[in-house]
Amino acid sequence: MTAQSPALELRDVRKIYNTPGGTIDALAGMTLTAEQHKIHAFLGPNGAGKSTSLEMTVGLRTPDSGTVRTLGLDPRKARDELSRRVAIQPQEAKVFQYLRVGELLDLWSSFYDHPRPADEILDSLELAKYVERQVTKLSGGTLQRLNVALAMVSDPELLILDEPSTGLDPRARERLWSVLGGWRDRGTTIVLSTHSMEEATALADSVFIVDRGRCVSSGTPEELIASFAGGPAVVFRLSGDLSEENASRLRSLGDLTVNPDRFAALKTARTDEALVLLSQTPGCYDLGIHQPTLGDAYLAATGTELTATTTPEED
Ligand SMILES: Nc1ncnc2c1ncn2[C@@H]1O[C@H](COP(=O)(O)OP(=O)(O)OP(=O)(O)O)[C@@H](O)[C@H]1O
């Protein structure tokens, strides 16, 4: 309730969906805390429980058990107050398909006492040229930006976006990241879900790795990389088996792994020495340095790779 409350707090939140095909454990003990005035990314694959969690924070879904607090408030009891202070990216723009973009923004603005100027939002998301266009005639990527624009209209303290860059081309995505960074810099808390390592790395101050209904790890991208992926590695290929003698020389510099396809990695902070030694070791070629990424940390934390799919649909 106070300015010091976390933006979001979920404690051991569980949710089972009953479907004709059986029960689905959508949330299996989700626990996390998201501080205010930052950009937080829920990073995980389809079905990990990101949308269910986000929708619960504004009372659109009810947990079976556990505690959800948004700005210190119970979303099931404080829906009116939260609807003034928090905005979640709507999926409704399509419902208003016969309105023009400008008309829809004006209608949305009329719901709030202190909306942010629609022109400013349209300009920042490069939607101004579509004001006269009917919603039904927008491409997927433009419709997506319109949904983000609608969430921004109420000038919320907490802006929740569900995969906001889906369908955006790389330029529109970077533009969106810069706009969201600007909102964060002037105090807005942003929580978004994403499949994209690149987006989480470029945009998020903190990342929640979501896997099978739980937050399995969290931290800044740098913290996650440091704790799960470790330091750099010198990577190389082998034309044949390494002799025991050469392998033990390499191991004196760090951890050596060789996969069945003869791709090898030597994890070491002494990369210069490793490169010299490898260049003198017979059968080692294609030498390179791999700096650890959030993708490596994700793989180490969950045991699976996350492959992002983006479908540029801008017009
Ligand atoms: N209304 C619903 N009824 C039944 N099952 C649902 C419902 N909503 C979500 N689920 C299921 O719950 C699980 C978690 O879904 P959720 O949408 O929260 O995950 P997500 O990480 O946001 O994935 P996506 O990126 O696909 O939206 C999935 O298995 C999904 O199929």
44-92 confidence digits (pLDDT tens)? 988 999 999 999 999 999 999 999 999 999 999 999 999 999 999 876 5
Q: Are residues 132 and 268 in the same domain?
A: no
Please name the residues in contact with 47: beta carbons below 8 A apart, sequence gap of 6 or more. Answer: none
- Whole-number Å distance between alpha carbons of 268 and 233: 6
Of 19, 24, 210, best ligand 1 pocket probe by most atoms within 8 Å of the beta carbon: 24
Terminal Cα-to-Cα distance of the chain (whole angstroms): 43
User: Of 194, 155, 205, which is closest to residue 38 (Cα–Cα)?
Assistant: 205
- Three-class SS state of 258: strand
User: Rounded to an integer, what distance in angstroms lies between the CA atom of residue 39 and that of residue 165?
Assistant: 15
- Say whether pLDDT at 24 is over 60: yes
Query: How far is 74 from 69, CA to CA, in rounded Å?
Result: 5
Residue 269: CATH number of its domain? 3.30.70
Residues 160 and 284 in one domain: no
Is the same domain home to 55 and 164? yes
Residue 274 sits in the same domain as residue 143: no
Q: Same structural domain for residues 271 and 135?
A: no
Provide, rounded to the nearest whole percent, the portion of the chain with pLDDT above 70: 95
Buried b / exposed e across 226-239, counting CB within 10 Å, b at 16+?
eebbbebbbbbebe
Structural domain count, the chain: 2
Residue whose CA is at the smallest distance from ligand 1 atom 7: 17
Quick check: 289 and 272 in contact, CB under 8 A? no
Q: Would you say 98 and 154 are in contact if contact means Cβ atoms under 8 Å apart?
A: no
Residue 147 pLDDT greater than 70, yes or no: yes
Give percent of the chain with pLDDT exceeding 90. 78
Q: Give the mean pLDDT of the chain.
A: 91
pLDDT level of residue 228 (50, 70, 90 thresholds): confident
Interface TM-score (ipTM) > 0.85: yes
171-226 pLDDT, tens digit per residue, is 999 999 999 999 999 999 999 999 899 999 999 999 999 999 999 999 999 999 88
Q: Which residues contact 19 (CB under 8 A, 6 or more apart)?
A: none
Looking at ligand 1, which atom is closest to the CA of residue 51? Answer: 22
Give 310's pLDDT tier (boundaries 50, 70, 90).
very low
199 within a domain of the structure (yes/no): yes
pLDDT at 93: 59
Best residue among 19, 51, 60, 215 to mutate for probing ligand 1's pocket (most ligand atoms within 8 Å of CB) is 51
Work out the average pLDDT over 17-28.
93
Its domain, for residue 276, covers 231-291
Q: 220 and 169 in one domain?
A: yes
Pocket flag, ligand 1, residue 24 (CB < 6 Å): yes
15 and 65 part of one domain:
yes
pLDDT tens column, 232-289:
899 999 999 999 999 999 999 999 999 988 999 999 989 999 999 999 999 999 999 9
Q: How many CB atoms lie within 10 A of CB 314?
A: 17
Which of 172, 203, 226 is the C-terminal boundary of a domain?
A: 226
Residue 309 pLDDT level (bands cut at 50, 70, 90): low
- Calpha distance 75→38 (Å, rounded): 20
Query: How far apart are the CA of 247 and the centre of ligand 1, in A?
Result: 47
| Spatial distance between the Cα atoms of 25 and 171, rounded to a whole number of angstroms | 37
**Residue 49 beta carbon below 6 angstroms from any ligand 1 atom:** yes
Q: Is the CB of 196 under 6 A from ligand 1?
A: no
Q: At 38, list the tokens.
A: 């930052």
Residue 211 backbone phi and psi in degrees, to 5 = -145, 125
Candidate from 52, 57, 307 with most ligand 1 atoms within 8 A of CB, to mutate: 52
Cα within 13 Å of Cα(219), Cβ side: 14
| Cα-based distances in Å from 205 to 11, 68, 139, 145 | 21, 22, 30, 22
2 has a pLDDT exceeding 60: no
Q: pTM for this structure?
A: 0.86
Instruction: Please tell me the predicted confidence (pLDDT) of residue 61.
Output: 93
Alpha-carbon distance values, 216 to 21, 79, 228 (Å):
27, 29, 12
